[in-house]
Amino acid sequence: MTDRGSSRDRILEAACDLIAAEGVDDLRIARVAMRAGASTALVHRYFSTREELLEQALLHSFAAIAPERFAGGEGPVPGAAAGLAQAIDVCLPTPGKVERDFVLWVELWLRAARDPHLRPLAARLYERYHAWLRDIIAAGVQAGEFTAPADLEGFTDTLVGLLDGLGLRALLRDPNMDLSMARARVAEFVSAALGIDSVALATSPAGRPPLGQAKIA
């Protein structure tokens, strides 16, 4: 990675951290610069306005999910079910950076609900989110591991809604819907539709091998 890319990514990571901790409305370029160990001039070199920084930070968070979680691994790809299980993990608020990224989604929902200018960004992100999950499922169907849903697009829409809704309850520490329960509920829904073992999808991410092929386009 070049120094230019490294500086830009460091600024975006700092912005993501601040948005998750304090919300979109309190995002300030000066504070982002301080957290990133950069000057405000350097931040402005990459992002001319606060709104551009906000948009790029959200895009950065989303685009980084799959490569970070699935990169690496020198062994063979473990199969479509394992890949889908890992995708489910990164779509639920697993403690750590994944939980931070889920909080960014919530911040985007809240802000876009009040600010029509952010709604196209939210729609673009959901379009990419949908396409990423749809393509993972389609690859499993093509490999002969999954039963094809009657309506792949509709099934993916429902899966996105289930992940968002149950993930939010887990994020809020709902005593009736913790992370393991949310994962189990998603696994039950997906396994019934795709004809696979729910245990393979509901298992904790600990001990799962990394998947090297999945990425968000």
Model confidence pLDDT, tens digit, residues 156-167:
999 999 999 999
What domains sit in the chain, N to C, each tagged with a CATH number? 57-202 (1.10.357.10)
Backbone angles phi and psi of 7, in degrees to 5: -65, -45
Dihedral angle computed from the Cα positions of residues 21, 161, 159 and 179, in that order, rounded to the nearest 10 degrees: 40
Separation between Cα atoms, residue 153 and residue 156, nearest integer Å = 5
Instruction: Name the nearest CA neighbour of 20 among 57, 56, 51, 48.
Output: 57
Dihedral angle computed from the Cα positions of residues 130, 136, 138 and 143, in that order, rounded to the nearest 10 degrees: 180
In which residue ranges of the chain is pLDDT below 50? 1-2, 66-77, 204-217
pLDDT at 203: 61
pLDDT at 50: 84
Whether the Cβ atoms of residue 133 and residue 65 lie closer than 8 Å to each other: no
**What is the Cα 145 distance to its own chain's centre?**
24
> What pLDDT, in 10s, does the model give residues 177-186?
999 999 999 9
**Model's pTM, two decimal places?**
0.75
pLDDT at 67: 45
* Rounded alpha-carbon distances, angstroms, from residue 201 to 61, 63, 113, 139, 159: 24, 23, 33, 16, 13
pLDDT at 110: 84
pLDDT at 5: 57
pLDDT at 1: 38
Other C-beta atoms within 10 Å of 123: how many? Answer: 11
Sign (positive/negative) of CA torsion 139, 144, 150, 156?
negative
